[in-house]
Structure 1
Amino acid sequence: MTTIRLSVAGMTCASCVGRVERALGATEGVQAASVNLATETAEVTFDAPADPASLSATLDKAGYLARVDTVVFDVEGMSCASCVGRVERVLAATTGVVSASVNLAAETASATFLVGTTDADELRRAVASAGYSAKPRGQDAPQVDRKADEARGYRGRLIVAAALTLPVFVVEMGGHLVPAFHHWFMGVVGPQTWRFIQFVLTLAVLVGPARGFFLKGIPALLRGAPEMNSLVAMGAGSAFAYSCVTTFAPWALPVSARNVYFEAAAVIATLILLGRYLEARAKGRTGEAIRKLAGMKAKTARVERGGDVVDVAIGEVVVGDVLHLRPGEKIAVDGVVISGESHVDEAMISGEPLPVAKAEGAGLIAGTVNGEGAMTFRAQKVGGDTMLAQIIRMVEDAQGAKLPIQSLVDKVTMYFVPAVMGLAALTVFVWLIFGPDPALQYALVAGVSVLIIACPCAMGLATPTSIMVGTGRAAELGVLFRKGDALQALQGIKVVAFDKTGTLTEGKPVVTDVVRLSGDEATVLAVVAAVEAQSEHPIARAIERIAQDRGLTLPEVSQARAVAGQGVRAQVGDQAVLVGNLRLMEREGVEGAAFAAPLEALAEKGRTPVLVAIDGVPAMVLGVSDPVRATSRAAVEMLHARGLSVVMVSGDTTRAAQAIAAELGIERVEAEVLPKGKAKIVAALREEFGEIAFVGDGINDAPALASADVGIAVGTGTDVAIEAADVVLMGADPRGVVTALDMSAKTMRNIRQNLFWAFAYNVALIPVAAGVLYPVWGVLLSPMLGAGAMAMSSVFVISNALRLNGVVVLK
């Protein structure tokens, strides 16, 4: 089973979305298809016999185009026809490639692929896997912003349309407002001559800048699948056709109905172009988050090749390459430092404001910025495997998601355009039968108004634009929605359960208490650290660190043997050393009375005790604790303030877990929970409270993350936990959970506002356009006003979604 995301051209409204989904879903081999109007993409899951080429053909047959791009490579290493065949085969086998051709004489390879399914770097790596070196031509050219390019196209067409429409509009509207001007102008030019001039100017608008409405709308209408362009084409076309009859065959109409509406047709087309221009500009801003993330990518890297350090394109870096990093440079790929020291600004990834110290063995993340030092590092992840690429992919997946709330919209919009056309026809019929004289003129105005004012665009954009902006803004705030439907699911959460270690706490034990019972404290501590150096336990590392911090010299350990579940027995010089828990001391016959008071004190504070005996005599008690994160209490308080219950889940003893919970203000604790029991705790909490979000970071949290209604993984945790989660916090700050909840609330509120506007607009204004107010108040909506209202409705929806960019982190 394969899933690809196609970039689809030609979609203008919610009706298009339903049509594309149905066409793709009916293709043999397709298991699922989800279309997003805001991103203009279709995510398709399919198996044989379906393939990218057949999916593209399906779209073409439905009247839409899968966008394609072509990249040309300069290929080194080809020497014969078999090389040509090999390169062509690996390119053609890459998912999304429609065609591939190789020219041996020119040493070039050309691949045409479906936009969104692959890219030049992936194709270059495919060629490299066949044993050849490939370099994309023009790879340093700036990436084209498709929406900005589309907006520029609409702007040019709008200027031409406005210039042609302005004379018609000024004379006609000026004539209505200032009768003296009308009489003077008609006396100079003449009514029939002016009609000919209007015909020429309006025809120029319709066949020039506005021809796209007809080229797309009429074929869709003939296929029995009308959409937004069909409504515009029919509305403007009807006004123009009626005016042509009045101009060139007036005898075919009653004298009272011999009016022209050239200005209506021209103004309608111009206003719709204005709306499309503003919509394209606004849509471009909805993808700002992805562009910011993509802008973090380095373009080139300094790599060791053949003993020299050379600048190469980022796509040519391979795993294992040694890269040189200068002060102030962006890090090109994920890797590990092999020499040098510096500080790296990782705020754009982790949200942590302070630069992070880096030295030999430290990890580096692509897109972060080096500080004052020079370093060399080895590439570990390149291309689509880097953390930055994965983050971009997560954001794209979330932005393309379809929320459950969208299903209602899809059902309505499936029948919306045909229903509007039926209403327009009914409107014309009613006016012809019951309308005052001239009935034909009133019928035309009302019918055209109904066609023009209806706006399935706003209905189709209401949900996806909010999702795009909301998830993009969340990413900027350090919250990644891996699954877009988590946006809606978070709204119903009643309880948040936190794993303790590594989530509410630092996950790195530290020695907090040193209680000397006998001997010199420094000497005993050095002996303990020497023994613990033989262990892999995290507590052992904490004891080693405190010895290093105190500058202690560790003695030699001649023998060390672990006692499972109890501690370590060792020989240091001529001393027999025991380091472990009370059970170990009892087993070895050490008198435990001296340990009683320290153990009680540590238990009160929730510390983990480490007991030490030398030659059978109690020597020391160490208290070890996993420090609570500085922001954990604030996170808990913020969740309580939002009316949510908070539960801490821990494998620690009940007493230790309750001490941490008391420090954080958490009333409910589930302690001594085995890893496999966390999913059962989630089920029990759901039964008690309702929908639950679980927050964790470790491999043992994966089942609980997957079973919760919303799983939230701390980004500093394991890959397994992140893969099982619906939401990922890029940093370690538990307040990110609050940010996720707040972004969810604001995004869903924004979606409801958009849906209300889109539906209310159509429900309220379509009857007005049909003329329901005329019998009472004599009000009949002008088609031009309808066109302006329709154009602004989509812009309003997108502009409202863009307000989510102003959401700030609530601390």
Structure 2
Amino acid sequence: MTNRDEHAVATPHIEGHVERHAHGDHPGCPPESGHGHDSHTGHGGHSGHGGDHAAQFRKLFWINLIIAIPVVAFSTMFAMLLGYDVPDFSGARWIAPLLGTVMYVVGGRPFLTGALSEIRSRKPGMMLLIGLAITVAFLASWGASLGLLHHELEFWWELALLIVIMLLGHWVEMRSLAQTTSALDSLAALLPDEAEKIDGDRTITVSPADLHVGDLVVVRPGGSIPADGRIVDGRADIDESMVTGESRPVARGVGDSVTAGTVATDSGLRVEITATGDDTALAGIQRLVTEAQNSSSRAQRLADRAAGWLFWFALVSAGITAAAWSLVGDPDASVVRAITVLVIACPHALGLAIPLVVSIATERAARGGVLIKDRLALEGMRTVDAVLFDKTGTLTKGQPTVTAVETTGNDDGDTVLALAAAAETDSEHPLARAIVKAAQERGLTVPRASGFASSPAVGVTATVDGHEIRVGGPCLLHEVGAQEVSAATEWRGEGAIILHVLRDGAVLGGLRLADEIRPESREAVDALHKLGVEVVMITGDAEAVATAVADELGIDRVFAGVRPEVKASKVAALQHEGKKVAMVGDGVNDAPALAQADVGIAIGAGTDVAIASAGVILASSDPRSVLSVIELSRASYRKMKQNLWWGAGYNLIAVPLAAGVLAPIGIILPMSVGAILMSLSTIVVALNAQVLRRLDLTPEASTRAILNR
């Protein structure tokens, strides 16, 4: 991306014609021959760790579910609770203990290792609470099975159900949290597999990894540049959108720097390598993505905090229970009550409270065009107070559109546009397609053209109805000594692309082309303002282009001419102002900023690397989907809090009752009642999460709901 002000706006050209306005000068207008210009095609001339964990918990869940069936069926206490007799045959009494031990060792291993980690870090949480419960249940059950402890302490059925439910909850959670390292793979994929290195009088094919500073390489039309370098021969339009976010191809000539991964769209080049490997701009973006992703993964989880509080609550309650029952002279009851407290305190419902909400919210969001990759991103969206939009491909369509036609003579605008479309019909350049598309949308009859030819940085020429029709930028006008249309000065100030149409050397008119703003963008900005959210736009485009878009949409703040390595720092600057920032983008250049932001939102039509770096993906390119994410975040957070209270509420009520707080008036919570309360708590949590399915998360519905408040 070049650094340009509003008086020197480099704009893309059609098959080689480029417009560069610099106070009346025409720098860079090459000879007609166009040295180095080749013919144009079509002219007739990482699996992430989150995924591993999800697969692990899925496998463990199904294995332990199968084992749990006989454990529960042959548990003597479970049989007593339901009033049936355990089958009596040789060895039947050892089925539950032996298979229960297998479940404890195999199914309980993730929780036990997690508990040890929490002990070492001195941060008790969900894993320690689960580990404590299953260990107490395991030891107490063996004590009861061997006749060493009271028969009420036979918890094999409870141990089995606890492990199965927790494995299910963690499977759902890991699936929702599964991350991918494909961001870095996608960045690497931008580089070509091979490079053509000039070795003396011959050209040899080598891997980009084998290139060294000072090597000369040939880049064919349509080919990717293998490493950072400097053009030593040739001139071409370089598509830098994948790396810089520049919305249109940029003209590069001898002496200009080029970046690895960008594409020479129309001409061949010879490039001297100036940086390779870790020193390239692409590698720098990779490092930024990695660092930002790592730093954003340390957020504390709400359920773990609740589990930490419950851990101390259960431990203190069990200690008080044992002491109290011992003081009243019933040591046997003290053991039974204390162990019952520790087992009953395990958060069955709490273990499913958040994963269930996230699972349902994720499914519901997908139907509204919102894909949730990261639960922390979903939780964080409700507190966002600044949304940073990348301009190109997000607020705009990322493709040029004819927005105005100015005529100079008797011909009307439709005639000028039709002649331009005729001359450009054989071209595949984005601006050429925009002109042809504009003529089609207006229902114009485009005459047939012949003798198509193009000249680098000058324009295209064709014969239409016996007349020579030429379309090009300022170099074309300079060549024929013609003046630009009167509206050109105004268009230039707005950052528009300006092309002129000539017939037999005389200017017929001018075409204004610009990146078309999405019709939904205005509603998205208005709705965000209604929520009190600041809207910021960031772009690699020039100041004039950015300001024109921002003024039309009512955007609060603009960062223009921003290079990719600076985008993440702009996000960080907003964060240093105390803002919670959501970044919305679709290009490789957005990846570091997406990862740096509190919430990264990728437009689904964007690149793989942008999608992989974001926590939320918009399946459509509708910016109003950001409102859907906010609505979903707030609704799901409400359900998470409600479920946490339901899950923890069971413990807050059941633990004191199990401890015997009401024993003086003859009320002691039996295990059977505790089991019923436990089940009811889990059912309530599950039903409460289902309410999220009623949400209408389509962009239209979410935006309308906010604007009508």
Q: Normalised by the shorter chain, which TM-score bucket?
A: 0.5 to 0.7
Matching of residue 228 in structure 1 with residue 123 in structure 2 = no
The aligned counterpart of 2:437 is 545
C-alpha contact 2:372 2:378 (8 A) present in aligned 1: yes
Report the AA paired with residue 477 of structure 1. G
The aligned counterpart of 2:661 is 772
Q: Structure 2: how far apart are the matches of 1:656 and 1:2?
A: 40
| Structure 1 residue corresponding to 2:512, chosen from 603, 620, 623 | 623
C-alpha contact 1:409 1:460 (8 A) present in aligned 2: no
Matching of residue 708 in structure 1 with residue 602 in structure 2 = no
| Structure 2 residue corresponding to 1:430, chosen from 309, 313, 324 | 324
Matching of residue 409 in structure 1 with residue 304 in structure 2 = yes
SS in 2 for 1:485: helix
Structure 1 residues 411, 655: CA separation in 2 closer, same or farther (over 3 Å shift)?
closer
C-alpha contact 1:705 1:721 (8 A) present in aligned 2: yes
Q: Structure 1: how far apart are the matches of 2:529 and 2:362?
A: 24
| Structure 1 residue corresponding to 2:532, chosen from 639, 643, 655 | 643
SS in 1 for 2:134: helix
Deviation at 1:646, TM superposition (A): 1.2
Q: Structure 2: how far apart are the matches of 1:677 and 1:271?
A: 55
The aligned counterpart of 1:518 is 409
Deviation at 1:496, TM superposition (A): 1.0
The aligned counterpart of 1:497 is 388
The aligned counterpart of 2:365 is 474
SS in 2 for 1:507: strand
Report the AA paired with residue 381 of structure 2. L
The percentage of aligned residue pairs carrying the same residue is: 31
Report the AA paired with residue 228 of structure 1. A
Report the AA paired with residue 79 of structure 2. T
Structure 1 residues 471, 203: CA separation in 2 closer, same or farther (over 3 Å shift)?
farther
Matching of residue 789 in structure 1 with residue 681 in structure 2 = no
Q: Structure 2: how far apart are the matches of 1:466 and 1:720?
A: 28
Deviation at 1:733, TM superposition (A): 1.8
SS in 2 for 1:41: helix
For each residue in 1:596-626, what CA deviation from the matched residue of structure 2 results, as whole angstroms up to 9, or x when unmatched? Answer: 25764x6899864433344553311223343
Q: Structure 2: how far apart are the matches of 1:578 and 1:689?
A: 54
For each residue in 1:171-230, what CA deviation from the matched residue of structure 2 results, as whole angstroms up to 9, or x when unmatched? Answer: xxxxxxxxxxxxxxxxxxxxxxxxxx9899899996456764455459989999864333
Q: Structure 2: how far apart are the matches of 1:517 and 1:198?
A: 100
Structure 1 residues 758, 212: CA separation in 2 closer, same or farther (over 3 Å shift)?
farther
Superposition CA RMSD, Å: 5.1
Structure 1 residues 164, 475: CA separation in 2 closer, same or farther (over 3 Å shift)?
closer
Deviation at 1:675, TM superposition (A): 5.8
Q: Structure 2: how far apart are the matches of 1:281 and 1:707?
A: 32
C-alpha contact 1:713 1:721 (8 A) present in aligned 2: yes
Structure 1 residues 163, 202: CA separation in 2 closer, same or farther (over 3 Å shift)?
farther
C-alpha contact 1:202 1:265 (8 A) present in aligned 2: no
**Which structure carries more relative contact order (alpha carbon 8 Å, separation 6+)?**
2
- The TM-score with structure 2 as length reference comes to 0.58
SS in 2 for 1:514: strand
SS in 1 for 2:621: coil
The aligned counterpart of 1:509 is 400
SS in 1 for 2:516: coil
| Structure 1 residue corresponding to 2:486, chosen from 596, 614, 637 | 596
| Structure 2 residue corresponding to 1:446, chosen from 310, 334, 337 | 337
Q: Structure 1: how far apart are the matches of 2:577 and 2:353?
A: 35
Report the AA paired with residue 486 of structure 2. A
C-alpha contact 2:605 2:621 (8 A) present in aligned 1: yes
Q: Structure 1: how far apart are the matches of 2:95 and 2:386?
A: 59
SS in 2 for 1:551: coil
The aligned counterpart of 2:421 is 529
Matching of residue 721 in structure 1 with residue 642 in structure 2 = no
C-alpha contact 1:699 1:721 (8 A) present in aligned 2: yes
Deviation at 1:508, TM superposition (A): 3.0
Structure 1 residues 488, 624: CA separation in 2 closer, same or farther (over 3 Å shift)?
same
C-alpha contact 1:576 1:614 (8 A) present in aligned 2: yes
Q: Structure 2: how far apart are the matches of 1:507 and 1:472?
A: 29
SS in 2 for 1:540: helix
Task: Report matched runs for 1:242-641 at 5 Å.
Answer: 404-406=299-301, 409=304, 416=311, 424=318, 427-435=321-329, 439-440=330-331, 442-443=333-334, 445-518=336-409, 520-521=411-412, 524-533=416-425, 537-547=429-439, 550-557=444-451, 559-563=453-457, 568=459, 570=461, 572=463, 579-581=471-473, 585=477, 589-592=481-484, 595-597=485-487, 600=490, 608-615=497-504, 617-641=506-530
For each residue in 1:99-139, what CA deviation from the matched residue of structure 2 results, as whole angstroms up to 9, or x when unmatched? Answer: xxxxxxxxxxxxxxxxxxxxxxxxxxxxxxxxxxxxxxxxx
Report the AA paired with residue 406 of structure 1. R
Q: Structure 2: how far apart are the matches of 1:6 and 1:716?
A: 23
Q: Structure 2: how far apart are the matches of 1:699 and 1:720?
A: 6
Structure 1 residues 734, 805: CA separation in 2 closer, same or farther (over 3 Å shift)?
same
Q: Structure 1: how far apart are the matches of 2:610 and 2:168?
A: 39
C-alpha contact 1:449 1:786 (8 A) present in aligned 2: no
Report the AA paired with residue 632 of structure 2. M
For each residue in 1:705-754, what CA deviation from the matched residue of structure 2 results, as whole angstroms up to 9, or x when unmatched? Answer: 34433332211122343344333222222222222333333344444444
| Structure 2 residue corresponding to 1:41, chosen from 57, 62, 74 | 57
Structure 1 residues 203, 477: CA separation in 2 closer, same or farther (over 3 Å shift)?
farther
- When structure 1 is superposed on structure 2, of 407-416 and 477-486 the one drifting more is 407-416
Matching of residue 165 in structure 1 with residue 79 in structure 2 = yes
SS in 1 for 2:517: coil
Q: Which runs of 5+ in 2 are unaligned?
A: 1-45, 117-130, 178-292, 704-709
Report the AA paired with residue 599 of structure 2. V
C-alpha contact 1:165 1:201 (8 A) present in aligned 2: no
C-alpha contact 1:447 1:770 (8 A) present in aligned 2: yes
SS in 2 for 1:643: coil
Structure 1 residues 583, 198: CA separation in 2 closer, same or farther (over 3 Å shift)?
closer
For each residue in 1:57-80, what CA deviation from the matched residue of structure 2 results, as whole angstroms up to 9, or x when unmatched? Answer: xxxxxxxxx76xxxxxxxxxxxxx
Q: Structure 2: how far apart are the matches of 1:757 and 1:681?
A: 41
C-alpha contact 2:470 2:502 (8 A) present in aligned 1: yes
SS in 2 for 1:455: coil
Deviation at 1:674, TM superposition (A): 5.7
Structure 1 residues 597, 757: CA separation in 2 closer, same or farther (over 3 Å shift)?
same
C-alpha contact 1:503 1:734 (8 A) present in aligned 2: yes
Deviation at 1:630, TM superposition (A): 3.6
SS in 1 for 2:450: coil
Q: Structure 1: how far apart are the matches of 2:171 and 2:562?
A: 49
For each residue in 1:630-689, what CA deviation from the matched residue of structure 2 results, as whole angstroms up to 9, or x when unmatched? Answer: 432332233223321112334556565445445434343444556665445434444446
